Amino acid sequence: DVEKYHKEVRENIESDEGKKIMTQRSIQAEGVFANLKQDYGYTRLRRRGESGVKEEIFLAAIGYNIRKYHKHKHRQKEENCHRHDRQVTLSQNQLNSFCIPKNH
């Protein structure tokens, strides 16, 4: 009876659609788990039981997403600063017109 399901799974994975799905999974999900394990040292679950494991993985995912968001925002801010540095070039006369006289 189990062999019937194994055969069905193999057929699904070996189909064109199954190959596309497995490629997407390996790119998206497996990369996140690899980062958690290698970059953040998260190699072992500390909780037991289904609810504890789900909670721990959920917390790890939140931490991962916060780091990812922060990194993205920081990179975006740097790009904006560099973009402004390149775009703004003022002559000395233009620069002097922005200065406030010392007696004010």
Residue 41 in tokens: 């040292």
- Amino acid 7: pLDDT: 93
Query: Do 11 and 35 belong to one domain?
Result: yes
Q: Give the predicted TM-score (pTM) of the model.
A: 0.47
For the stretch 56-95, pLDDT in tens is 888 888 888 898 888 888 777 766 665 555 555 556 555 5
Give me the domain span that covers residue 23: 1-44
Query: Do 68 and 25 belong to one domain?
Result: no
Number of folded domains that form the chain: 2
Residue 104 pLDDT class (50, 70, 90 cuts): very low
Residue 14 pLDDT class (50, 70, 90 cuts): very high
| CA atoms of 54 and 20, how far apart (whole Å) | 27
For the stretch 31-43, pLDDT in tens is 788 888 888 888 8
Higher pLDDT residue, 34 or 99? 34
Query: Do 75 and 93 belong to one domain?
Result: yes
Query: Do 55 and 36 belong to one domain?
Result: no
Query: Do 52 and 102 belong to one domain?
Result: yes
| CA atoms of 36 and 5, how far apart (whole Å) | 32
Query: Do 58 and 38 belong to one domain?
Result: no
Query: Do 32 and 60 belong to one domain?
Result: no
Percent of residues in the chain assigned helix, strand, coil, to nearest 5: 80, 0, 20
60, 36 Cβ separation under 8 angstroms = yes
